[in-house]
Chain A
Amino acid sequence: MLRRRLNRLLGGDERRVDSRTVYVGHRSSPDSEGFIPPKFCDNRIVSSKYTVWNFLPKNLFEQFRRIANFYFLIIFLVQVIVDTPTSPVTSGLPLFFVITVTAIKQGYEDWLRHKADNEVNKYLVTVLEDGQRIRKESEKIKQVGDVVEVEEDETFPCDLILLQSSRDDDTCFVTTASLDGESNHKTHYTVPDTEKDLESLSATIECEQPQPDLYFVGRMHIYKNNQEPIVSLGPENLLLKGATLKNTQKICVAVYTGMETKMALNYQGKSQKRSVVESINAFLLVYLCILVSKALVCTTLKYVWQGKPGQDEPWYNEKTQREKDTNLYLKMFTDFLSFMVLFNFIIPVSMYVTVEMQKFLGSFFITWDKDFFDNEIKEGALVNTSDLNEELGQVEYVFTDKTGTLTQNNMEFIECCIDGFQYKHRDASSELDGFCVTDGPVSKLQQKAGREKEELFLRALCLCHTVQVKESTEPCLDQVDGLNNQVDGLGIDGDGLGIDGALSHLEEQRGFIASSPDEIALVKGAMYGFTFLGLESKTMKILNRNNDVEYELLHVLNFDPVRRRMSVIVRSSSDTLLFCKGADSSIFPRVRQEEVERIRLHVERNATLQEGYRTLCVAYKLLSAGEYAQADAGLREARLALQDREEKLMAVYNQVETGMSLIGATAVEDLQEEAAETMEALQGAGMKVWVLTGDKMETAKSTCYACRLFQKSTELLELTVRTLDDENRRREEKLHDLLLDYHKKAVQDAPPVKEGVTSWSSSQDYGFIVDGASLSMILNSSSDSSNSRYKNLFLQICQNCTAVLCCRMAPLQKAQIVKMVKNSKGSPITLSIGDGANDVSMILEAHVGIIKGKEGRQAVRNSDYAIPKLKHLKKLLLAHGHLYYVRIAHLVQYFFYKNLCFILPQFLYQFFCGYSQQPLYDAAYLTMYNICFTSMPILAYSLLEQHICIEVLLDNATLYEIAKNAMLRWRPFLYWTVLGLFHGLLFFFGVWYLFYNPALQDNGQVFGNWSYGTIVFTVLVFTVTLKLALDTRHWTWINHFVIWGSLAFYVFFSFFWGGIIPFLSQQRLYFVFANMLSSVSAWLVIILLILLSLLPEILLVVFRKPRGPHSRQ
């Protein structure tokens, strides 16, 4: 199933490139004389990016492609080349640090990749060469065409064609758990008609050139006794690299190797998702403008000032000869660059480092959260992208898959309906009294259908499936096996089914393996009458009461999501039967109409019962010999076709599955744990939940009811094929009318919603249902004008509904919807949650993609987060996401603020030093400010802050809503900028007034420019840190340690740098700090300025409505 879906996904371009010819075992075919072994790549997998030699240049190149790094490199180069006020060290050191850390991290990652590559490449495989088995390393399979032997539990080293299996029925079982996570066993078949003696086999395989499409067609020429039978090859013969062999030992031939294997081709690098916090880029731009304008202002004023007599070069301060000789314009330019360098700290390297660190470290809290740990599958949450933590706090639209996400994939047989009579599954706890259909686990409710019908129904359930029986090889291990089975989610609960002792013992050792869990549920359900014993070389064994019955399996008409049904054709001793099961919508048109009504009642009741049962209808047909012969021929022909095989098969299937008679329906239950609570919480948090499913409308609707996405009071607006079908009018017209009508209802008549107030309860709720066909009509409407108009109407309706259900979606349509919403007005943040490969497209499309549960490792790789259960979504969004958003928003704003008030005094100082680019602060302070003095408190804050504690966040979903990235909009940005300006001005001019008389010591001695800078800097460090302390609502010991620690570190460092150590005695800051502390005035002004800076802050906090971490609204 997955494969088909993937095909659909990836097979967008149906180009069938010319084929390749593979010579099995490199034996040339007898007739081709000029045998030239074709060139194929070897089996080495290379996923690593670097080698030892190219690591440095390549990695550096990659790093400097980042705009920020490049900017800092430029600044650094300017400092090196031009005579700038600050030494290149001040910006070179942080840059070097950043580059080194990143390089080490990437180097380590690449080393891991090398290791993983080696593990794969050095994997030992048995290759058959000239009749001898040779163990070889996987990468040494040099040629396509090598014959490889694979044993049980080994992984396939490359894409292989199955030639021979040790099983009698020429099959082998394969799990693709490491590819797509589906742990069920898939059956693959050997190439029919090959000889058992492989050494004398001389054959060529003709197949396509390597391509990502998982579909495979090819043919094999076997040269045997001058005959040339041609055998067709399909995906069932192809074993993909990475899958694991189960149960069998077999021999295959390599078709695609190394980087040409389908999996390697299929691995798409995930497109980089960017966080909305990247809107800091806009802020950065503002600051860059500030920076440039500052530099421009200073440069201009400098030349204006120098124009006055005696200022440019007074006698006490002559220029060097070189300076005098420099061209005026060049001088201006270098002056401009110097100012840029002087003020460049306004855009700090360290912000990038801190943001990265915050994201990286922050994601650990998600993986560490024990609430995300699921005991059943022994897995916690997984974070694939740490870039998106804060997006989780901004989600407006949640797109969820239904199957496997809202619903569980472990199904339980609940009830069935045979011939219009309802049977309910006994409670597991209730007593089992004997083995009897009527009184057995399927108990009668009112009346019962005829015994004949019952038997037919149960027989159909028992036969119409593709379930495999897995025999336990070691009977003594049945306990363990049973456990494993349960973990796999595929096992049966061996809780004594009332079958005779020996049998039940056998039963316990038996596991069912199927591609879809509901098949197992049904087979298990049928076990109350019939027990499926297994499939042995095309014979299905069934235990009926105590007699074995054998059916010959003639054909399996596979399930696919388009037909939405599957059939088997079996031959019993007497006659040939076709059993078919499938969705009611796909079965009803194909059965005799008079039978439908009775069952339909049952099906519809189930769907609306708000219990979210999955219903399947079961039908059968007696095939006459003639009918069968015709069907058989058609099927065989279609299967051999090289071109359009799918279409041809489909046609035959449809032809065969007609005129059946309906026997009954089944209901299988599977809602996820706490799905309803989670959905309610999400809606309460102001998120709009859209269910996108491939399922039919009725089941999807019932799931929505069950999840309480639709309430009883919800008025449903339906836009489906059913509502569109109107005898009198064309669908387009009807669509138009309906859209307008719904729009009027949901959008125009709705009371205007106040900004920021959720009004779910006050007004009428609408639920919107749309199906794939109608959606494609809306999206692909013929004329352009109506297209965009319909789209708009549709979007507006959707946005005004509490819940939207989109059923019968193809995977690509899911992505389309997500894209449409994502690109709609206000570009809301979207989140997709799904569980399997069919959700990958929508997961990749949405801002945040979450994968749920155990299935689909390929999907996990494509997702951003993986959580074990749907219920975990609540905490992930409401607590983690919200907190991360608040944290990172504060982090970003704070960084801009602290660097603005850091550099503003330096800018103002230019007005008092003749625009000479004299730095106010010492170089050590300039360098250390962002690295040491102020970086740790904000990092600790951004990791630990809980402005509202987690329990309260979880209890009050409404707290989640921060409208539209509110904390990173221009208003707060402006607030922080103004605050930074205010502080900067205050620091500079406060000290400036003090220095009106620089005799600040009680011995009459005066302070110089470095003392000035040090006082400003001291005020700055303390204010900025205390400002953060004021904002901190959650003081853990780490916060205390880091905040007070960095202040202490600043003082300690200043003493140290000020010359405690003798070798620093030539330093220009020698004893400046200590002398400053000896001055009472300096103390007084420092205290005054800190207090004055924080005063408005305190007032603001007080006047704002106080809301503590524990208060509830």
Chain B
Amino acid sequence: MASGYNAKEEDGHIGVVGLGGASLRGRKPENTAFKQQRLPAWQPILTAGSVLPAFFIIGLIFIPIGIGLYVTSNNIREFEIDYTGVEVSSPCYNCAQNFSWHSTTPCTCSIQFYLHQAYESNVFMYYGLSNFYQNHRRYVKSRDDSQLNGDISSLTKPSKECEPYANHDHKPIAPCGAIANSMFNDTLELFYIDPNGTRVPVALSSTGIAWWTDKHVKFRNPGGSTNLTAAFQGTVKPVNWRHPVYELDTDPENNGFINEDFIVWMRTAALPTFRKLYRVIQKKNNMAPTLPRGNYSLQVQYNFPVRSFEGRKRVILSTISWMGGKNPFLGIAYVTVGSVCFFLGVVLLFIHHKYGNRTNNADITN
């Protein structure tokens, strides 16, 4: 009982602890707009009349955008080959069946395909994986960003998050973690088969496939890019890799942690079925198409096993528009929403016309 006893009040002082209102008692409250809840206010009222134009405008804007998007998406050329090698008929069947982590000679297979249409602009070559959970929590966090940023101490002492891919034979793994360890390492080469039968290799550019900021800020080689071999001294390569990280490429600007293939892989995909940019086929001149119509051969060095988890591997050749890759979803969605709005606009117009007299002024300012 005593604990609630408030001696202050008892002494004749007015004042309840806590609520500030008490102190105001005995003084006339200020007559300000805020305190009297009389701030000038805009009081919009949505009525059929005021919303009506908005619906029409939305409809009129969305439908053309949608159509534009749909057309754009349809104009994008996209060609997809599954080379997993599950079916016996598949050229890569053998490679898939005979896969072994310890084999020293890479297994190669080549797939012939025919492009019915010429690809006029730059062509982007993606590899696609299915049922590969790059977004699994254990996987996503299994990396050491500080190590990838070139931090020397993290290089020799990788974060605990990388477990069980942090150390091998008591030596730190560089780059550590499950993501790096499972880097996609199939080599894909594309050959154009002339009408006369000669295989012409298509030039694949491996730069510009990763985010610029990733390549230039987020990923850094330890001790700069000079003499990577020395920089990675004392570390071991990831268990599943064939080469250490400083041998990913011969170009010093695309080697080590700043290798773009590596960076692309390190950006974990959102969904278990995903594609990642592999190479870019630059358009050479304005006259000839980048990929002319005709026969092609895709030569695969089959290093990446997916059979154990029922995964699929694909190669996608695609042109790109301002909205990105081929995806009809946006166009359809926009047309649908636009039409619905337009339709609603008509319904509202009807209602407004028929029972319209009850609507008030839209905006009244206080």
**Chain A residues within CB distance 8 Å of chain B:** 45-47, 49, 85, 105, 109, 112-113, 115-117, 119-120, 123, 155, 177-179, 241-242, 244, 259, 263-265, 267-270, 310-311, 314-321, 360, 363-370, 372-373, 375, 378-384, 386, 857, 861, 912-914, 916-919, 944, 946, 949-950, 990, 992-1013, 1030, 1033-1039, 1059, 1065-1068, 1070-1071, 1074-1075, 1079-1081, 1084-1085, 1088, 1091-1092, 1095, 1098-1099, 1101-1103, 1106, 1108-1111
Contact = CB atoms under 8 A, between A and B. Distances in A.
Contacts of B270: 912, 995, 998, 1007-1009, 1011-1013
Contacts, number: 371
Contacts of A105: 18
A1033 B138 CA distance: 47
Contacts of B163: 320
B136 interface: yes
14 contacts: A116-B13, A117-B8, A120-B7, A123-B11, A315-B305, A380-B25, A912-B272, A914-B272, A916-B139, A997-B275, A1011-B270, A1080-B324, A1103-B48, A1108-B45
Contacts of A949: 43, 366
A1005 B211 contact: yes
B232 interface: no
Contacts of B25: 367, 379-380, 382
Given A1011-B270, A1106-B359, A916 B138 contact: yes
A380 B24 contact: yes
Instruction: Tell me which of B210, B329, B341, B358 has the highest count of chain A C-beta atoms within 10 A of its own C-beta.
Output: B329
Contacts of A379: 25-26
Contacts of B329: 993-994, 996
Among all A-B residue pairs, the 8 with the closest Cβ atoms: A116-B8, A367-B21, A269-B4, A178-B12, A316-B182, A999-B325, A1012-B270, A310-B309
Given A994-B330, A1005-B209, A314 B133 contact: yes
B266 to A, nearest CB: 9
Contact of B269 (A315, A365, A1008, A1038): A1008
Contact of A912 (B135, B178, B305, B366): B135
Contacts of A45: 5, 7, 10
B333 interface: yes
A1088 B337 contact: yes
A1059 B37 contact: no
A47 B138 contact: no
Given A113-B6, A944-B37, A1071-B211, A999 B322 contact: no
B216 to A, nearest CB: 10
Given A178-B9, A1066-B145, A1098-B51, 7 more contacts: A267-B5, A315-B182, A912-B135, A999-B324, A1006-B277, A1066-B148, A1102-B47
Nearest to B78: A997
B21 A1004 contact: no
B184 to A, nearest CB: 10
B10 A365 contact: no
A1084 B69 contact: yes
A355 B255 CA distance: 56
A1063 to B, nearest CB: 11
Nearest to A314: B309
Contacts of A310: 308-310
B210 A1035 contact: no
B245 interface: no
Nearest to A308: B310
Given A119-B8, A155-B11, A1008-B268, A946 B135 contact: no
Interface stretch (B28-36, B221-229, B290-298): B28-36
Nearest to B6: A47
Given A1035-B43, A1081-B323, A113 B268 contact: no
Contacts of A382: 16, 21-22, 25
A1092 B124 CA distance: 33
A321 B5 contact: no
B132 to A, nearest CB: 7
Contact of A314 (B269, B308, B364): B308
B112 interface: no
Interface residues on chain B, size class? 35 or more
A113 B17 CA distance: 8
Contact of A1006 (B217, B274, B341): B274
A161 B19 CA distance: 37
Contact of B178 (A316, A372, A1099): A316
B249 to A, nearest CB: 19
A279 B122 CA distance: 62
Contacts of B28: 370, 373, 375, 378, 380
A1008 B138 contact: no
A913 B69 contact: no
Nearest to A1101: B46
B164 A1106 contact: no
Contacts of B217: 1059, 1065, 1070-1071
Given A373-B28, A1038-B39, A1108-B43, A85 B137 contact: yes
A973 B292 CA distance: 61
A316 B136 CA distance: 11
A318 B181 CA distance: 11
A919 B140 CA distance: 10
Contact of B164 (A85, A319, A1091): A319
Interface string B233-274: 000000010000000000000000000000010011111101
Given A317-B182, A1059-B213, A1065-B217, A916 B137 contact: yes
B326 interface: yes
Instruction: Tell me which of A155, A311, A319, A1106 has the highest count of chain B C-beta atoms within 10 A of its own C-beta.
Output: A1106
A998 B41 contact: no
B206 interface: no
A738 to B, nearest CB: 44
A398 B46 CA distance: 37
A949 B40 CA distance: 11
Contacts of A372: 29
Given A178-B9, A1005-B277, A1000 B213 contact: no
Contact of A1109 (B1, B20, B43, B318): B43
Contact of B341 (A178, A995, A1095): A1095
Contacts of B209: 1004-1005
Contacts of A373: 28-29
B327 interface: yes
Contact of B320 (A49, A112, A1003, A1067): A1003
A1071 B213 contact: yes
A205 B11 CA distance: 27
A319 B214 CA distance: 28
Contacts of B4: 47, 267-270
Contacts of B47: 1102, 1106
A914 B135 CA distance: 8
Interface in B310-366: 310, 318, 320-327, 329-330, 333-334, 337, 340-341, 344, 348, 358-360, 364, 366
B1 A268 contact: yes
A993 B271 CA distance: 11
Contact of A378 (B12, B26, B51, B326): B26
A299 to B, nearest CB: 14
